[in-house]
Amino acid sequence: PLNDESIDDEGGASLADLLKRAGATRTEVAAAKKIRADNAEVIEYLLDDAGFTAQDVSEMLATKPALARTALVEPAKETVEFLNATFNLRKCDLRKIFREQPGLLLPSPTNNVIRDTGACPAVLATASGGPAAGPRQETSTNVYDVVYLLSSVGVKPKNIKEMVVRWPQLLTLPVAQMLAVTDYLGSLNFEGTVGSLYRQHPWVLAAPVGTVRRAVEVLVDEIGVRRLENVVRAYPRALVKGRDDLLEPARLLQDVGLEREDVVLVIEAFPLLFGLEPLATRGVLAFWRDELGLKKNDVPRVCRAFPSLLGVDVQRQRKVVAFLREIGVVNVARFATRLPPVLAYDVDADLRPKMAHLAASALSVYDVVRFPAYFSYPLDTVIRPRTAFLEANGLPLTRFELKTLFTGGDAQFAKRVVGASPSEYASFKAAFLKELANPTPKPRGGLLAAFVKPEVTPATGKAFP
């Protein structure tokens, strides 16, 4: 119960006492006493009716002290209840949204006037409550505008909910800003909807439309990108990059020998190139040339075929090169040009176990040099089951080239290499993988000892019925 000192001149509880009553710490109460509270009704509503904790409200006041001065209960209550009713938010999500954006509870300074931003009439009508947006309350706040705009471009309510919880700033964006960006992106005639772009990257709604327009002009007119939608959806931050930042990767690729047409193809295949640090990319190219020893003509070939390698840390690639030399590969550059992705593999988790598996089967680096792609096959789901099946059938691995064992699918391997039916190998593989996933005490010799071939009978005619 409050004592006489906890009652302000108007008969209501003071801000500090409201927080104290809700379980605030001494530090939070002390901070509240420093805030001039002309109207604590919203604070009282948040604590008593809306389910916010003293810590929530203290954080909100630290960001927006005006909550205790100019906030009005009815508009604040409308906003909270609108979000709750529209999205059926979990209490923790509702609290998160307003903790991060307490300004949503303040009166809108613009009264939500839709300004002329050059957006098409249909978009303006939608955001101002036109037919596409459906019925709308006259006293709506910016929160309503955001929700209706997103609905009008095809974002489903469940997706709007996810966007709002993940990026609450979305609810504070000016409607004019969102209209301008939406109108411009719509003019690009992408196959997918603008809404699907917003769903994955809600921050795009905050991108200055002038910046977006200039970025698109650089991508299309200066670099020559034709599949703009692919680039934007894979790396939307290209839309807010400056001209020099966008041109830098293209220049790097041209410097190592790629023609303009090839540069465009690389960018369209790997738009994340725009997100790489130019210095790091230059370091990769220098490593290929100076340490790995790739030929001048091989560098553009690798860039064209595997542009993502430009984003692999040099130290990781250096470790791969050291491993290949360690196992006896003499011409590592040649090996890498035959299997460029090997430069991105994990030495300890991938390459070393695969090499050890070969060595245990009496094979050597000579066999790997003849077929570098061996390292590209999964150890547990392809390499080990096949070699185990060969052993179960009395066929030594040394009898075959690695290329023969691994290039075909499971059915081809069973029929052409082992002379068994695909179903026989499928059963063996299933048992093998099951044992890998759920190791059990094995008979001496492990799985192979437990795998007993059925006797050949006149009925079956072969060992594997």
pLDDT for 300-343, tens place per residue? 999 999 999 999 999 999 999 999 999 999 999 999 999 999 99
User: Rounded distance, CA 4 to CA 349, Å?
Assistant: 70
Q: What is the mean pLDDT of the chain?
A: 85
Cα–Cα distance list, 172 to 168, 178, 216 (Å):
8, 11, 26
- For position 301, what pLDDT does the model report? 94
User: Rounded distance, CA 135 to CA 373, Å?
Assistant: 61
pLDDT over 70 at 459, yes or no: no
Question: Phi first, then psi: what are they for 40, rounded to 5°?
Answer: -95, 15
From 21-35, 100-114, 122-136, 215-229, the region with the lowest mean pLDDT: 122-136
pLDDT greater at residue 187 or residue 117: 187
pTM over 0.85: no
pLDDT over 50 at 118, yes or no: no
Please give the single-letter amino acid code of residue 320: V
Nearest Cα residue to 152 out of 122, 182, 126: 126
Coil vs helix vs strand at 13:
strand
Over residues 438-462, the mean pLDDT reads 51
What stretch of H or E contains 16? helix 15-21
- For position 203, what pLDDT does the model report? 94
pLDDT for 68-89, tens place per residue? 887 788 989 999 999 988 888 9
User: Rounded distance, CA 309 to CA 241, Å?
Assistant: 22
Sign of the CA dihedral 213, 218, 221, 226? Answer: negative
User: Rounded distance, CA 123 to CA 149, Å?
Assistant: 8
In the chain, pLDDT over 90 holds for what percent of residues?
A: 67
Cα–Cα distance list, 39 to 16, 68, 171, 352 (Å):
13, 5, 24, 69
According to DSSP, the residues that pair with 264 across neighbouring strands are none
pLDDT for 348-391, tens place per residue? 999 999 999 999 988 999 999 999 999 999 999 999 999 999 99
From 116-120, 318-322, 358-362, 414-418, the region with the lowest mean pLDDT: 116-120
Q: How many residues does the chain have?
A: 465
